[in-house]
Amino acid sequence: MLEIIETPLNLSLPVGQHPHCLLAQIPDHLRRGDQGYVVPVPAEQWGRVRSVLDLVAEGNGGFRKLHFLLFPEGCLPLAHLDDMLATIERRLHPSTVTMFGLEHVPLSTFRALLERFRGDNARALELVDQDLESGSDATVPVNFSCVVVREDDGKVRVFLQAKGHPFHGEEYLDKSHDLYRGRWVHHFRGTSSFNFMVLICLDYLYRDLFSSNIRRIVDHANQTFFRTRQGLDALFVIQANPKPEHRAYREVLSGFYGEYLEDTPGVRDTVTVFGNCSDQSHVEGAEGHGSYGASSVVIGPRHNLVSVTLSEFSTDDFGGAPLCRLRFGTATRLYYFNLPLHHELDPRSSRLPLKVHGIFCPTAEGGWRKLSGDEILQGLGMGG
C-alpha cells in the first residue's frame, strides 16, 4: 500500500492565524493519445494557468496572504512545466505552496523528471527504479501531480507524485489502458508545524482487500499525534472528476470524520479540500459520465457552518454525514478562502471557522474579475 514519506520544509505560516487557499476551478481539455491523456492545445491551456498566476502575482484581492494555490488534475502540459516553475520562482511570494496535475507521460519520462529533481524525490526515484527492475513497462503512462514549494528563503522545491489508482484500465482487457501505479505520498511538515498531504482524485477512495489509502493516512496521522500531539492539518485532493459527489466520497468522508469505531485524533481537525476542474472541461471518452466542478471544503462536525444556499456556493452535511461541507458551483471560478484553525482555539458555537474571501470569474480578455457581493448573493440554488 501507500508509503508515506516524511518531508520537512522551510515553510513558516503565521502562528495563530488561519492560512489562505486559492482554489482554481478551471477547465481541463484532455485527449486520449498513445501515452494516456494529453493536452491537445498546450499554449491555450498554459494561458489559462498563467492567468491565475498573474492574478496572484499582482497581489490584489488579498493574495499577499496566500499560502496554498490549488489547480486541477491534468491541467498543465508538460511542455510548460519549466514556464510554471520559473513563474512561481520569479513572481510568487515566499512561503507559498502550489499544487497541480500534469498530462500523462511515459514512465521513462517520469523517471527522468524524478532524476532531474532528485534532491526532493530520492525515495520516489528508488521506488520507481524498483518497479522498473521488477519488469514494469517503461512506456506505461503516468498520471502525476507536482507540489512546488517556495520556501521562506525563496528556494523552490519540486515534489512529484504518481497517481496510484489504476484509472479506467480496470475496465478494459487491453493492457494499454493501464497506468503506472504510484506507491508514495509526501507528508509535508513546515517549520511552523503546519503539515499537509496531497492526493490525486481517486487515490482518496482507493482500497484493496488488505487496506486503503485513507486508512493508511489516518493511522499515520494518529501515530504522529501520539508522538507530537499534532494532527494532520490539511489534505488536498486534486481532481478531474465527472462524479465529484458520488456516494463513495460521502462514505469515505463519513469514516474519516465520524470516529465510529475508534478515536482518530490525528485527523479530527483536518481540513479536506477537493479541487476539481470546471464544467467547461472536456475529457475524451468521459462524455455523459456526469458533471465536473462542485469543488468543496470539508471540516469535522465539531466545527459549525451556518446553512447557506447561494448562486455560487452552499453549505451542507453531504446528505447527513458527520461533517460540515462548503460546496462550490460548477462554473469556471477562482475561490479564495481561509483554512479553519483548530476548534479548541476558539470553541464558541457561534464562530464561523471557514470564510470565503473572494470569488473570481473569467473575463472576455482572458483575465479574472472579482464578483461583487450582490452577484454572490443573487439567486437561489447552485448555479454555474
For residue 47, give the CATH number of its domain.
Answer: 3.60.110.10
Question: Residue 1: pLDDT band by 50, 70, 90 thresholds?
Answer: confident
Q: Which residues contact 225 (CB under 8 A, 6 or more apart)?
A: 231, 265, 266
pTM beyond 0.75: yes
Range of the domain at 162: 3-10+18-377
Residue 336 in any domain: the answer is yes
Containing H/E element for 129?
helix 118-133
Strand runs (DSSP E) across 324-379, as ranges? Answer: 324-328, 333-338, 356-362, 368-370
Q: Which residues contact 302 (CB under 8 A, 6 or more apart)?
A: 268, 269, 343
Residue 187 in any domain: the answer is yes
Give the pLDDT score at 381.
42
- Max distance between CA atoms of the chain, in angstroms, equals 60
Query: Could you give the number of structural domains in the chain?
Result: 1
Q: How far does Cα 210 stand from its chain's mean position?
A: 26
User: What are the grid coordinates assigned to 213, written together?
Assistant: 489509502
Residue 384 in any domain: the answer is no
Instruction: Quote helix, strand, coil % in the chain, to nearest 5.
Output: 30, 30, 45
Residue 69 in any domain: the answer is yes
| Strand 29-33, strand 96-101: pairing | unpaired
Containing H/E element for 123?
helix 118-133
Residue 382 in any domain: the answer is no
Residue 383 in any domain: the answer is no
Residue 218 in any domain: the answer is yes
Looking at the chain, the whole-number percentage of residues with pLDDT higher than 90 is 73
* Amino acid in the structure at residue 41: V
Residue 334 in any domain: the answer is yes
Q: Which residues contact 54 (CB under 8 A, 6 or more apart)?
A: 91, 367
Question: Among 50-54, 299-303, 345-349, whose mean pLDDT is lowest?
Answer: 345-349
Tell me the C-alpha distance between 109 and 99, whole Å. Answer: 20
Looking at the chain, the whole-number percentage of residues with pLDDT higher than 70 is 91
Tell me the C-alpha distance between 223 and 281, whole Å. Answer: 40
